[in-house]
Amino acid sequence: MTAITRAENIGVRAIDVYFPSRYVDQVELEQHDGVSAGKYTIGLGQSKMAFCDDREDISSVCMTAVQGFMEKFNVSYSDIGRLEVGTETIIDKSKSTKTVLMKLFEESGNFSVEGIDTTNACYGGTSALFNACQWMDSAAWDGRLALVVAGDIAVYASGNARPSGGCGVTCILVGPNAPLALEFPLRGTFMEHIYDFYKPNLSSEFPTVDGPLSVTSYVRAVDHAYTAYLDKLEKFGGVSQASLKDIDYIVFHSPYTKQVVKGLARIAYNDFLRAPESETFAEVQQFKEVTREESYGNKVLEKAFVGLSKSDFAAKTEPSLLAARNIGNMYTGSVFFGLASLLTEVPFEKLEGKRVAMFSYGSGCAASLYSFRVRADTSDIAATIRLNERLDMRTKVSPVEFERAMELREKTHNAQEYEPTGNVDELFPGTYYLQKIDSMWRRAYGRTPLN
């Protein structure tokens, strides 16, 4: 039996993103909703929100992402041995989105593709990435490449949560000798049972959300995942007194960008707990006696560490928020849109040799903090994504039209014998779209011309 050479420097070989062609402006949405100026733009830290009508579902947006990726990066479907999908947008309780994506493999004749969907709120994409990388690092690897697809259509019922929606999918090529090599075994994970955000009503797209609890759960997960990561960095990475200084860039899952500001502040707080006498923390000594549990509801403490971490945020995290601020929440795809944004905003000359940490959080909850090392040129990836250019190509619509699209999605969710009414001409070139749903809920798709 022929032995396969063990893969080295496994990680992200390439990445691309898909988001819908239309968005609503958050300033205009504030005015439309009759809320105070800045509630969405400052309070949430959001500028624009992508959305889709009844012409796009989770299968269509994933097909668009995958086919677009394969064409742009000139990857053959016959070279793929594993395809993992991370999503929480469910249109079928049995049939996976991955099996729908196999339609794209038909022409290649490659049906020997491992992997399946992974679901836990916004964490599924990270679990999919881990599965793909660990498959490649195991005796089960057959020498082929892997695709990881992560994304969602994030929609909320009319009200306070609706402005934190969005839509987007990432497609990642995982392989050996990657420009972004995963740092095995540097990973901190935290999981617990909690009802902060969940979807028990299977007749609706909308989640049930305990907002305050979800915010606390997020920062608790940062605490535990980050400290576990630092412990491994000290144990396996040969680092003494590990802290944020040992991380060059840090990308967070972004339900909205203001939460990311608080996430990095929490990183600073944990560094303070590990080395309270450090000169770095001279201005926050008054919090030495505050217990960790007490800190979660302490707004004075939060504000102090947001201020303390401001320069680190600007240098290490702000560049990763381009997509989040202008698209919204992509659930499982969010943290990878952050990575795509970082590659877009920071030239390779500044990324070369650097450590990029990723914090992934999914309600319920599941969280991990892990890292990549940038070991080869990322310029071609950034040039292919063309993130800024593509964001500027979108069409702004009025809040009234946005609400009309949300009402249409709500009305037609789980529809049977249905033909969508959304305008196909408004979609980007190369976008897959829903043509019809028959009497057995079988879905048929078309694709807009590339030119």
Could you give the residue numbers annotated as active site? Answer: 88, 122, 253
B/e letters for 185-209, b = 16+ CB within 10 Å, e = fewer, are ebbbbbbeebebbebeeeeebbbeb
In whole angstroms, give the CA distance from residue 255 to residue 325. 10
Dihedral over Cα of 98, 104, 106, 108: its sign: negative
Strands 355-362, 366-374: pairing is: antiparallel
Tell whether the torsion through CA atoms of 370, 372, 373 and 374 is positive or negative: negative
Place of tokens 């020997």: 112
Q: For residue 365, is the peptide bond before it cis, meaning its omega torsion is within 30 degrees of 0?
A: yes
Q: Which tokens is 298 given?
A: 């302490």
Task: Give CA angle at 410 (408, 415), nearest 5°.
Answer: 85
Q: What is the 3-state secondary structure (H, E, C) of 113-148?
A: CECCEECECECHHHHHHHHHHHHHCCCCCCCCEEEE
From 419, 448, 444, select the one nearest 431 (Cα to Cα). 448
- CA distance linking residue 448 with residue 427, whole number of Å: 7
